């Protein structure tokens, strides 16, 4: 190893990493029990020693630059190694504990993850889980989450992804909605039906047309960006919507809306950072999620 190439102080690197993780100088100072000016000087000293800008100030927030993102990945590995040294010295090296943030859609968080997380609590009681509910793609590289359940493959080589399976989905409605229209529907009825929107009506219309339905945004008169709320509207008989079979099957009052529309499938990906291979807590949660999501019954 070229020891002379190491030109920075570990305390400065730690100050940078904690600031990146906590999102602000004040929060990082509290975490390290330092004054904010002291922490700020350490971060500035690291920037000067390395000759790069690590943070940009946007409004009242600090945002990592590209150089900061890249450096954070390396310093995080150092931090994990330092933690393992401390744990080994204290005899706690075999314990799996700490916070892991999981990103998923609100519908999956509400209806699929609870059973899986209950088992995780028994397996690894020292792990704290925070579930970030979002219907958009979380930027794992900017540390919004440690693990994400996604329906599209990630497009960045620094992320590790595993495709678990293809999940079937159909167009569903409440039984009362169907009964009020004679007990059955076909594609020919689509133009006169009500659909429940989620976040992007234009995108929803494109999905519905992929099912072969002649509909437009005028068919979507009610919706919510919150998937759980939108699904509740479906359950209350306000209209139809696309739903994964494995979620719809949990509601006996819900039935497939059309007799002549075939289901489609969508992929389920599990995505995480490269430190999957160096963080035991992330590996434990990732593997448990993969096992649990593979066991989910498809429903119909």
d(CA 18, CA 68): 12
Distance CA 195, CA 172 (A): 10
Which uninterrupted H or E stretch holds 276? none
CATH 1.10.10.10 in the chain: give the residue spans: 3-90
CATH T-level fold of 98-162+269-295: D-Maltodextrin-Binding Protein; domain 2 (3.40.190)
How does DSSP assign 50-111, residue by residue? HT---EEEETTEEEE-HHHHHHHHHHHHHHHHHHHHHHHHHT-TT---EEEEEEE-HHHHHH
pLDDT computed for residue 88 by the predictor:
60
pLDDT tens for 77-134 read 787 777 666 656 555 444 578 889 999 999 999 999 999 999 999 889 999 999 998 7
Reported residue count of the chain is 300
**Token duo for residue 249:** 């099957």
**Residue 168, exposed/middle/buried by CB under 10 A (0-12, 13-18, 19+)?**
middle
Mean per-residue pLDDT for 176-194?
A: 93
- By the 10 Å C-beta count (0-12 exposed, 13-18 middle, 19+ buried), 258 is classed as buried
Residue pLDDT, tens place only, 232-273: 999 999 999 999 999 999 999 999 999 899 999 999 999 988
Residue intervals in the chain for CATH 3.40.190.10:
98-162+269-295, 167-265
The token pair at 190 is 């689509």
What are 255's strand-pairing partners?
173
102 and 289 in contact (C-beta within 8 Å)?
A: yes
Of the candidates 261, 254, 259, the residue with the CA atom closest to the CA atom of residue 239 = 254
* DSSP H helical ranges for the chain: 10-22, 25-32, 36-50, 66-90, 106-111, 113-123, 175-179, 201-210, 227-235, 245-248, 280-295
What pLDDT score was predicted for residue 93?
43
Model confidence pLDDT, tens digit, residues 45-84: 888 888 889 888 877 778 888 888 888 888 887 877 776 6
Chain mean position to CA 178: 34
For the domain made up of 3-90, the CATH class stated in words is: mainly alpha
For residue 223, count CB atoms less than 10 angstroms from its CB and return exposed for 0-12, middle for 13-18, buried for 19 or more: buried
- The SS3 call for residue 32 is helix
Determine if the pTM surpasses 0.75: no
For residue 255, report the phi and psi dihedrals to the nearest 5 degrees: -135, 155
Question: Residue 44 half-sphere exposure, CB side, CA atoms within 13 Å?
Answer: 7
Token pair listed for 109: 């968080």
SS3 294: helix
What are φ and ψ of residue 282, in 5° steps? Answer: -70, -40
CA distance 191 to 140: 40
pLDDT band at 220 (very low <50, low <70, confident <90, very high): very high
Q: What is the CATH number of domain 167-265?
A: 3.40.190.10
Inter-axis angle of helices 66-90 and 10-22, nearest 10: 110
Q: What is the pLDDT of residue 141?
A: 63
């Amino acid at each position: 190893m070229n020891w002379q190439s190491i030109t920075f102080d570990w305390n400065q690197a730690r100050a940078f990493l904690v600031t990146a993780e906590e999102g602000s100088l004040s929060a990082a100072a509290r975490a390290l029990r330092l004054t904010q000016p002291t922490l700020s000087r350490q971060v500035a000293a690291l920037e000067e020693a390395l000759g790069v800008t690590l943070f940009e100030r946007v409004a009242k927030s600090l945002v990592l630059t590209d150089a900061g993102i890249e450096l954070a990945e390396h310093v995080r590995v150092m931090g994990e190694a330092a933690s393992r040294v401390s744990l080994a010295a204290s005899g706690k090296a075999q314990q799996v504990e700490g916070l892991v943030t999981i990103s998923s859609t609100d519908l999956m968080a509400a209806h699929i993850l609870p059973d899986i997380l209950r088992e995780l609590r028994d397996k690894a009681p020292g792990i704290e889980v925070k579930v970030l509910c979002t219907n958009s793609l979380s930027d794992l590289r900017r540390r919004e989450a440690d693990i994400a359940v996604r329906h599209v493959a990630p497009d960045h080589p620094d992320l590790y992804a595993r495709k678990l399976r293809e999940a079937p989905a159909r167009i569903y409605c409440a039984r009362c909605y169907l009964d009020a229209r004679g007990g059955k529907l076909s594609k020919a009825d689509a133009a006169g039906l009500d659909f429940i929107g989620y976040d992007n009506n234009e995108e929803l219309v494109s999905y519905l047309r992929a099912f072969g339905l002649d509909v437009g945004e005028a068919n979507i008169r009610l919706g919510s960006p919150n998937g759980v709320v939108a699904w509740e509207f479906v359950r209350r008989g306000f209209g139809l919507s696309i739903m994964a079979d494995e979620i719809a099957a949990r509601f006996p009052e819900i039935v497939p809306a059309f007799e002549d529309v075939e289901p489609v499938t969508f992929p389920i990906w599990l995505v995480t950072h490269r430190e999957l291979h160096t963080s035991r807590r992330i590996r434990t949660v990732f593997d448990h999620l993969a096992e649990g999501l593979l066991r989910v019954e498809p429903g119909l």
